[in-house]
């Protein structure tokens, strides 16, 4: 091959690197989201049903096939893929994430070691390598349903065993299984707490002691009583409040609260847009960390408040570092930077008001500033 052709191939390969990297990240997220769909929460069972293991087996098989596909195609490791998938499940508690991670990984390792995937990566129960070729594997509960019925429908309570090693005594427990039982009990307590919190939030009242449904009913009545005046441009006051920086309590996110007050003499409906803005470490270029939209139905003199969050702090670092073109040494030193918020309130008749945490961010939503627009910023 000539020197000219070698040079051409080198240039071509370098040109393809960024595209490949972007494609890999996209594939990673799609795989993680596909796995996350299999890991949705299930409320603890009231009674033990033997047939539940069938449904759990199907979910475990679907999950293992996704892990095997990633393993075969040089994608993220099964450990990394599970971790990313669980990141997408905000409806799971920490105990469930821990037990799910262990169960998924152990089942996949057993299946992979015994050759339980065919050439297409599909699961089958017949051993094709290692001890007992031709024999069968099966799924069973780690903690028997007769011992702890509440855990009998939980995906994290499933394991893959050789048919000859299945549990003979439906109530027999090893020391390791006793330890899993302790963790499952904590998981059930955690699930109950999450369910109670969700129930409480659905009945949460506003400052007037009204539920969401009651407040909406009162707004409807006031809208009908007011008549044509409801179509007028409202007088709205809006403010933001930076509540918290990344910590374990905030799941390593920035937290901002937005308060909207209807100072009009009539009820109204407005759309509130809140952008949380960051900037890169080296070039100090601004980018969107998150955008939140809320449609508020406000009675006269009513105030409403809602919370907005960024993604976790670490999720921005690679994009920001790539944008700045940092080398390996600089990437070790760089930090994710958060600037503040920009808020815009609109009505069906147009812009009502806007604000920001500082002069620069306010200018991004100020229509009179032509060369600065919030929509022009990239979203990381």
Q: Tens digits of per-residue pLDDT, 147-197?
A: 999 999 999 999 999 999 999 888 889 999 999 999 999 999 888 876 655
Tell me what pLDDT residue 18 has. 40
> In terms of domains, do 238 and 153 share one?
no
> In terms of domains, do 139 and 93 share one?
yes
- Domain containing residue 311: 231-376
Domain count, the chain: 2
Q: Within a domain: residue 177?
A: yes
CATH code: domain of residue 243: 2.60.40.10
Judged against a pLDDT cut of 50, whether residue 246 lies above it is answered with yes
> In terms of domains, do 167 and 293 share one?
no
Task: Say whether pTM exceeds 0.85.
Answer: no
Q: For the sheet containing 337-347, what is the strand order? A: 286-298, 268-279, 337-347, 350-356
Q: Within a domain: residue 345?
A: yes
Among 219-223, 319-323, 342-346, where is mean pLDDT lowest? Answer: 219-223
Q: Within a domain: residue 130?
A: yes
The predicted-structure confidence for 31-73, as pLDDT tens digits, reads as follows 888 899 999 999 999 999 999 999 999 999 999 999 999 999 9
Task: Please give the DSSP secondary-structure letter assigned to residue 231.
Answer: G
Q: β-pairing, 268-279 with 255-262?
A: unpaired
> In terms of domains, do 192 and 318 share one?
no
216/367: higher pLDDT: 367
Judged against a pLDDT cut of 70, whether residue 203 lies above it is answered with no
> In terms of domains, do 145 and 73 share one?
yes
Contact indicator for 236, 343 with CB cutoff of 8 Å:
no
Q: Within a domain: residue 218?
A: no
Query: Token digits for 306?
Result: 């809602």
> In terms of domains, do 252 and 170 share one?
no
Judged against a pLDDT cut of 90, whether residue 199 lies above it is answered with no
Which band of pLDDT confidence, cut at 50, 70 and 90, is reported for residue 200? very low
Cα separation, 176 vs 159, in Å, equals 13
């Amino acid at each position: 091959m000539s020197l000219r052709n070698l040079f051409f191939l080198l240039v071509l390969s370098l040109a393809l690197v960024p595209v490949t990297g972007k494609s890999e990240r996209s594939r990673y997220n799609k795989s993680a989201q596909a796995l996350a769909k299999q890991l949705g929460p299930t409320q603890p069972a009231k009674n033990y049903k033997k047939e539940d293991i069938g449904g759990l087996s199907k979910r475990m098989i679907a999950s293992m096939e996704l892990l095997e596909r990633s393993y075969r195609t040089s994608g993220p490791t099964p450990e990394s893929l599970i971790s990313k998938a669980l990141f997408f499940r905000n409806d799971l508690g920490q105990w469930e994430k821990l037990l799910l991670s262990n169960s998924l990984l152990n089942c996949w390792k057993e299946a992979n070691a015994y050759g339980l995937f065919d050439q297409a990566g599909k699961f089958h129960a017949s051993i094709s390598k290692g001890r007992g070729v031709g024999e069968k594997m099966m799924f069973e509960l780690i903690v028997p349903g007769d011992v702890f019925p509440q855990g009998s429908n939980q995906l994290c309570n499933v394991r893959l065993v050789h048919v000859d090693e299945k549990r003979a005594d439906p109530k027999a427990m090893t020391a390791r299984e006793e330890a899993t039982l302790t963790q499952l009990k904590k998981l059930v307590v955690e699930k109950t707490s999450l369910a109670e919190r969700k129930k409480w939030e659905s009945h949460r009242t506003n400052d007037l002691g009204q539920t969401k449904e009651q407040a909406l009913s009162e707004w409807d009545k006031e809208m009908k009583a007011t008549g044509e005046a409801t179509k007028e441009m409202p007088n709205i006051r809006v403010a933001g409040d930076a509540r918290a920086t990344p910590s374990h309590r905030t799941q390593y996110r920035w937290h901002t609260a937005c308060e909207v007050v209807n100072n009009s003499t009539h009820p109204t409906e407005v759309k509130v847009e809140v952008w949380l803005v960051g900037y890169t470490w080296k070039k100090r270029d601004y980018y969107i960390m998150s955008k939140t939209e809320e449609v508020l139905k406000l009675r006269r003199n009513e105030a409403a408040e809602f919370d907005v969050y960024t993604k976790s702090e670490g999720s921005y670092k690679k994009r920001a570092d790539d944008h700045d073109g940092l080398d390996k040494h600089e990437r070790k030193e760089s930090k994710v930077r958060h600037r503040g918020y920009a808020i815009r309130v609109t009505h069906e008749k147009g812009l009502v008001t806007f604000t920001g945490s500082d002069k620069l961010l306010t200018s991004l939503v100020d229509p009179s500033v032509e060369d600065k627009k919030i929509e022009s910023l990239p979203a990381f």
